[in-house]
Amino acid sequence: MSVENRTYHTLLARHDAMRLRQRLLSPGSDPGADLGGRPPAEETYDAAADQQIILRDLDLVAPLDELIDDLYRALFARHPSLRSLFPDTMAFQQAHLARAFWYLIENLHRPEEITETFTRLGRDHRKLGVRPAQYTAFKDALCEALRSRAGEYWSPGLEQAWMRMLQLGVTAMVRGAEAALHEPPCWRATVTSHQLYGPDLAVLRLLPHETFRYRAGQYTTLESARLPHTWRPYYLADGPGPDGELELHVRRSGPGGVSEMLVLHTSPGDQVRLGPPKGSLTLDAEPLDTLRLVVRDTGWAAMKALLQELDSGVRRSSAHRVRRRVQLFLGADSLSDLYDLGYPAGLERRHSWLTVVPVTGGAPTGGRYDRLLHAVARSTPLTEGRTLIAGPPDMVRSVAAGLVHAGHPADRIAHDLLPSGPHVLPRSARGHGPAGDLTPPGQQIPA
């Protein structure tokens, strides 16, 4: 038995022993109420009260990045073999966990939303080899980190509020993982094509070894065989097709990471692994009259998939008509930064329902994305239809917040972002995100 498996079975035995002890000491209690089991009944859990406690005393354990440093230090000291589940460089993982904590803290008064999001997150984490008993080790490490950070100001009430919050998320993750046992934890795929559109941009085509089911507009996370334990999200640039191939658009965002590996050091025949599909940028069953697609850089991949879905519906049936007015806003610093323009241009020539609007540059005295925002706001009445946004996080946040300020209903804005810190984006401007992941897809992620 490997060291990792021995450690896991030790944790599993301890986990089961804790549940048995609780059952023996409290015969009437729910034996699944500990981490990894069922959460307390909603009527008995005052999530809003825990949120107030955590926010009130947040400065005792802040900053979060130092709390997370202490957490991982304690985790790996207690269970050294768990280090193998993580990449060599922990910066991205720590930022990912910080986003998860901020999301839990800011939304704790909405336990149903947290349960929905973390159920999807649990499905996705199967690809990392995370097993339910290992969450107990994480809980113990967080307790140690909280005590270390708070010092003399630590209190049982503060720790218990954090533990109940963590239990809410972990329980949903365990359920999500168990519900996904019918599908692989991840899908292996072979690179069939690699095309450069410049020194920092590549379009890859992949052929999964098993059926990979997804919807147009969704994204997947990807791990290169040359960079194990390091996953990054990318939109799928075409809808599900008969050949099973997938198209990804990748912008190199930094040295030595997944994006650089995919752009500069990947070729046909190379192997990758894919996580479960996810995402909010899908078409409604009942189309609205107006659909705005707002995109910058490799966020174009998601919109290309949606346009292909609309186009294929027309081609499959002469009786099929697109009842939407679709407007595609392509943002860029200059026209030379736009790529793959042949597809939207050709589609616009064939279909009267599509209007393509390139928007380049920023406002002379305003923000970088002001021209893009103004073009969208002036196009049609913002009270009509839906707006889907994809691209760098700062663009998505800026445009979403600007549209809400201009009168666009927030519940008709969809994107795949979560907040990266407290109050980065007003709740009313978050639209239909999150999509079940705590990392936005696209080239903007530091590799």
Each residue's pLDDT tens digit, 160-199: 999 999 999 999 999 998 888 889 999 999 999 999 999 9
* Domain's final residue, options 241, 274, 307: 274
Contacts of 265 (CB under 8 A, 6+ apart): 226
Does 72 share its domain with 139? yes
34 and 124 belong to one structural domain: yes
- The answer on 173 and 43 residing in a single domain is yes
Structural domain for 310, as ranges? 290-429
Distance (Å, rounded) from C-alpha 361 to C-alpha 371? 7
CB 109 within 8 A of CB 54: no
Domain boundary among 179, 203, 225: 179
Could you tell me if residue 444 is inside a domain? no
Q: What is the mean pLDDT of the chain?
A: 83
pLDDT tens per residue across span 45-79: 899 999 999 999 999 999 999 999 999 999 999 99
Distance between CA atoms of 134 and 63, rounded to whole angstroms?
25
Do residue 227 and residue 319 come from a single domain? no
204 and 170, same domain (yes or no): no
Helix, coil or strand: residue 208: strand
Q: How many CA atoms lie within 13 A of 374 on its CB side?
A: 11
- CATH for 126: 1.10.490.10
Both 52 and 134 in a single domain?
yes
Of 25-29, 56-60, 175-179, 278-282, where does mean pLDDT reach its minimum? 25-29
Task: Name the pTM for this structure.
Answer: 0.74
Q: How many domains does the chain have?
A: 3
DSSP calls for 51-99: HHHHHHTHHHH--HHHHHHHHHHHHHHH-GGGGGGS-S--HHHHHHHHH
Verify that 117 and 199 share a domain, yes or no.
no
- Asked whether residue 11 is domain-assigned, the answer is yes
Amino acid type, 319: A
The domain spanning residue 407 has which CATH number? Answer: 3.40.50.80
Asked, for residue 40, whether it belongs to a domain, the answer is yes
Same domain, 261 and 244: yes
- 3-state SS class at 295: strand
Examine the domain organization and report whether 155 and 247 are in the same domain. Answer: no
CA distance 419 to 401: 13
Same domain for 30 and 143? yes
8 A C-beta contact, residue 273 and residue 226:
no
Q: How far apart are CA 304 and CA 225, in angstroms?
A: 27
**Whether residue 127 is found in the same domain as residue 143:** yes
Same domain membership, residue 152 and residue 201: no
Last residue of a domain, one of 120, 154, 179: 179
As beta bridge partners, residue 413 has 387
